[in-house]
Structure 1
Amino acid sequence: MSALLTIENLETGYGPSQVLFGVNLEVQSGEASTLLGRNGMGKTTLLKAVFGQLPAWQGEIRFLGEKINGRSTEQIAQMGLALVPEGRQIFPNLSVEENLVAFHANRNKGEKPWKLDDIYELFPRLKERAGNMGNQLSGGEQQMLAVGRALMTNPYLLILDEATEGLSPIIRKEIWQVLARLKEAGQSFLVIDKYFKELVRVTDRHTFVEKGCSVWSGDTETLQRSPDLWKRYMGV
């Protein structure tokens, strides 16, 4: 496997306040990965730096082998990096179908790109609600739409920030099942979520962050054999 996303010694923050103090992270092609840590440890700040919303003060971010420090969010997205943001951020005045087709592209140049029917097969509820406006959807339906919208760009790497935040247990389970299907299909993704014990069942590699530093990285088997890591970095 080759690295899709590589972050080395990343430092950044907001104004004079430093948040990240040398983060290292790597996501391989075909890999399902997590970024784990308590609230306020720098996970979302890291994503903002990856997507060009914050400058890298030190260190380097590479995607598909190219340095992306200093590139715009649009340029990074067009390279084939897609984000399902915390808060979903769908267009409320567009229908479900319009939200999906507006973002259709084949950025990873795959032979079988995600199309509208594929998203409806993945999320049957979206097909039922195809004509409804974004602001007429439940929180769970909006999250399905946000995931489907990102997949419609056919990214090399899909990133989900707080993948099941605020969702009911039934919808959370459905999102995890979708992630399992994406993994089986070979879609590379990186997920942030607080329901980590369920999440690790459908992912391969994990990175913990603590106070703006990456403090541990390893595979699922190693993590499941190390309950002390859960307690130390997740408080359980």
Structure 2
Amino acid sequence: MLDVSNLQAAYGASQVLYDVSLRVGEGEVVTLLGRNGMGKTTTVRSVMGLMTPLSGEIMLGARPVAGATPEAVARLGVGLVPEGRQVFPTLSVRENLVATAANRLKRPDPWTLERVYALFPRLRERAAQVAGTLSGGEQQMLAVGRALMTNPRLLILDEATEGLAPVIRAEIWACIRALKAEGQSILLIDKNLAVLKRLATRHYIIEKGRTVWQGSSAELERDAAEVQRYVGL
């Protein structure tokens, strides 16, 4: 599905990634962990074609995509829920959902407005409301729904529940569990280790632009002291 190997990336003269490697297999939920500023979002931006890596390899299936455009990456089946939500603020909820909707992979049971509304009933209630007037939690639901409407092979969630009220956070986690049960491949960035240990297949930790640890949830428990040192939670 997604294989990132020895990724390096920079913003101008400031190098941020030095050696990042990770893998997401079909149907896996994989986490990318680390303190703020360690390179998680830069990794996502590199995968999505929002910046061109200095070196390294990014493969989507058998296709190399390092340096590809965001449009090309999206057409290959990668959906992004970006940090900060970034919904279209002047469009309605419904318009946000249909704006980039597609079923390029010809899924037999694609994500539709009705399926998204069933997942997040609050979006149905606010279908005609301008997205910029939604609460932060509602905007996050909308960002997830918008990404699902592209019917992605791989869904990336950057800071999935950051800054959300507990009740909304619980809805997002329930959504991710439901997606996992359907076999959706997910790369997930978040800080809630207690939930992530139960939810994810495998975990990667980034420290100063390098992958410094990887393992299963059982190994995450076993190496709790080391993990704590890296993630600072």
Structure 2 counterpart of 1:170: 167
Asked whether the 8 Å contact 1:176–1:199 carries over to 2, the reply is no
**Counterpart among 222, 232, 235 of residue 229 in structure 2:** 232
Q: Which runs of 5+ in 1 are unaligned?
A: none
Letter aligned with residue 208 of structure 1: I
Deviation, 1:224, is 2.2
Correspondence list, 1:53-64, <5 A: 53-64=50-61
1:100 aligns with 2:97: yes
Pick the aligned partner of 1:82 from 66, 79, 82: 79
For the pair 1:40 / 2:37, whether they are aligned, the reply is yes
- Percent identical among aligned pairs is 55
Of 122-131 and 195-204, the range deviating more from structure 2: 195-204
Q: 1:65 Cα shift?
A: 1.5
| Partner residue, 1:131 | 128
Counterparts of 1:214 and 1:138, CA distance in 2: 35
Moved more, 48-57 or 185-194: 48-57
Task: Give runs of aligned pairs for residues 107-118 of structure 1, distance below 5 A.
Answer: 107-118=104-115
Query: Structure 1 residues 224, 109: CA separation in 2 closer, same or farther (over 3 Å shift)?
Result: farther
SS at match of 1:88: coil
Could you say what secondary structure the match of 2:102 adopts?
coil
Residue type at the aligned position of 1:128: E
Amino acid at match of 1:111: P
Cα distance in 2, alignment partners of residues 9 and 174 from structure 1: 35
Cα distance in structure 1, aligned partners of 2:118 and 2:55: 43
Structure 2 residue 62 is matched with structure 1 residue 65: yes
After TM superposition, the score normalised by the length of structure 2 is 0.97
CA–CA distance in structure 2, aligned partners of residues 107 and 204 of structure 1:
27
TM-score (norm 1): 0.96
CA RMSD across the alignment: 1.1
1:26-46 CA distance string (max 9 Å, x none): 000100110000111000111
Task: Name segments (4+ residues, structure 1) moved above 6 Å.
Answer: none
Asked whether the 8 Å contact 1:33–1:203 carries over to 2, the reply is yes
1:135 deviates by: 1.3
Distance of 1:34 and 1:134 partners within structure 2:
28
How many residues end up aligned between the 2 structures?
Answer: 233
Contact 1:208–1:217, Cα closer than 8 Å, also in 2: yes
Output the CA distance in 1 between the equivalents of 2:225 and 2:104. Answer: 40
**How far apart are 1:107 and its partner, in Å?**
2.8
- How far the C-alpha of 1:216 sits from its partner, in A, is 1.1
